[in-house]
Structure 1
Amino acid sequence: MLRCIRSNGRPRQSHRRSPIRALLAAIGFLTRLPVPAGVFDGVSTRTQLAWYPVVGWLIGALLWAFGWVLAAAPPLLASALLLLAWVALTGALHLDGLADSADAWVGGLGDRERTLAIMKDPRSGPMGVAAVVLVLLLKFAALASLPHPGVALWLTPLLGRAVLTAAFVSTPYVRSGGLGSALVAAPRSASLAGLALALALCLIGGRPGLWALLAATLVFAFWRLACLRRLGGMTGDTCGALTELTEAAVLVVLALLC
């Protein structure tokens, strides 16, 4: 490993390695893929944000490869196995945020402090369970209606993580000390570069890429507005819900129109 020496004589890691370490740290946070044990040491959380679309594309590439393996399988079985792999890859990280947000949005009765308090409760109520079941059902039905492998398998997780970058760049984070509080100070130029990459990949996807981009943009705009009105900004749970809602919407739109 390349190293350089500080003025006080102690070694530190070269900045040349920091982008790769930030990417690996983002992979370690957003997925259950194995990364080197010390990858989080000395890596600022805010440097990971620009890599979120890349991690989404990586998830999509793995799902596309799995879809290729399952190309000859019965569509319903292939879709169920793809969805199982999808949840396993992410460790249900965003499904947890969806459940908490659904419980809080209904149980909060329009009150900001009550909504935030319910989101901190680790238990899931009936609305949270219903939201997770419905979103997974939509994903399964859409996957069963789409060809395997297809562009939807890499477009959907790509946009599901790109909206996280967009949310932290454009929206206040309202829970001090929360999991995403360090991402608010992420370098804006790097985050915009990550979003530009996501846009370019959508354009490469052709007509499905444009429909997927439109669906993700509408979900992002609607959910961002709802969070601003209710909470004054985003939390980690609402960001998780944003990812799940975006992925479901993209899959449904592509299944209906492409």
Structure 2
Amino acid sequence: MLASFALAAQFLTRIPLNINIPVTEQRLGQSVLFYPLVGLLIGTLLLLLTWLLPAQSFALNAAIILSTWVLLTGGLHLDGLADCSDAWAGGLGDQQRSLKIMKDPAAGPIAVIMLLLVLLLKWAAIQSLLQVDLTLGFLLLTPFLGRLSILMLMLSTPYISTNGLGNAMQIHLPRFAAGLIVCASLLLCAWLLNIYTLLTVILLIYWLRHLAMQRIQGVTGDVYGASVELVEAAVLVSLALAYG
């Protein structure tokens, strides 16, 4: 299990673990179970960072926290969001055209606009939450819920490619254990946060799944990345509106 967690951390973050782990398809599937835990790891590191930052510099602190957040993941999920944004706008509902755009490494204007809007929303929400001293809750649970969304999509939505890591992960994902983790995590977050934030997350994932099925008849790794970024932004904004 420790090896599966380390594999998940190596895949989702840029934390230099330097652990040589034999990668098998079964271990790839098991590693997905630890994605929410990797989110907690990211949140813990961000929480430690906030304790080192000067008090009252809310705007600057929010920028430093957000920049560190992006660096910890290497922009992995932002890349997925950018690819999906271009594909949704330029694919015109055609599956093959959308998939071709998603594979294009160049970012179009829609991708740039979407990235700027999501990062702006995150920065403003973090700044607001810092002022009401909710750092423990939002820094730990936001990246946790973001990565939990990957499990929810894997359990509910087909992966469209028969090749690649995503397909192997979904095939070998222990579905019963994943379902238990999702249910327990949602109940825990409903208790720790508020029911409105939780409903926002669930509705957002449902909408993203509907859009992915409509446009490309399934999900890809880019859709997983987009779900992480959009869920994180939704949680931060929801909490900022409720408590900020």
CA distance 1:192–1:123, shift in 2 (3 Å): same
Task: Give TM-score, length-normalised by structure 1.
Answer: 0.87
Mapped partners of 1:106, 1:216: distance in 2? 23
Select which of 190, 193, 202 maps to 1:217.
202
Structure 1 gaps, min length 5: 1-18
What residue in structure 2 maps to residue 37 of structure 1? 19
1:69 alignment partner AA: L
Mapped partners of 1:209, 1:50: distance in 2? 24
* Structure having the larger proportion of residues in helix: 2
Q: 1:164, CA displacement in angstroms?
A: 0.3
Task: Give TM-score, length-normalised by structure 2.
Answer: 0.92
Select which of 224, 233, 241 maps to 1:248.
233
Give CA deviations for 1:141-175 in whole Å, capped at 9, x if unaligned: 11111125231111110100000011111110012
Percent identity, please: 44
Give CA deviations for 1:84-140 in whole Å, capped at 9, x if unaligned: 110011110000000000011101011111001110111111111111111101100
1:26 alignment partner AA: A
Find out whether 1:158 has 2:144 as its counterpart. Answer: yes
1:133 alignment partner AA: L
1:239 alignment partner AA: Y
Find out whether 1:23 has 2:5 as its counterpart. Answer: yes
- The answer (yes or no) to whether the contact 2:146–2:228 under 8 Å persists in 1 is yes
What residue in structure 1 maps to residue 177 of structure 2? 190
What residue in structure 2 maps to residue 56 of structure 1? 39
CA distance 1:71–1:201, shift in 2 (3 Å): farther
Select which of 107, 111, 115 maps to 2:90.
107
What residue in structure 1 maps to residue 167 of structure 2? 181
Find out whether 1:168 has 2:136 as its counterpart. Answer: no
- Pairing 1:123-142 to 2, within 5 Å after superposition: 123-142=106-125
Mapped partners of 2:170, 2:20: distance in 1? 24
Q: Which has the larger radius of gyration?
A: 1
Structure 2 gaps, min length 5: none
RMSD, aligned CA: 1.6
CA distance 1:193–1:23, shift in 2 (3 Å): farther
What residue in structure 2 maps to residue 72 of structure 1? 55
- The answer (yes or no) to whether the contact 1:60–1:153 under 8 Å persists in 2 is yes
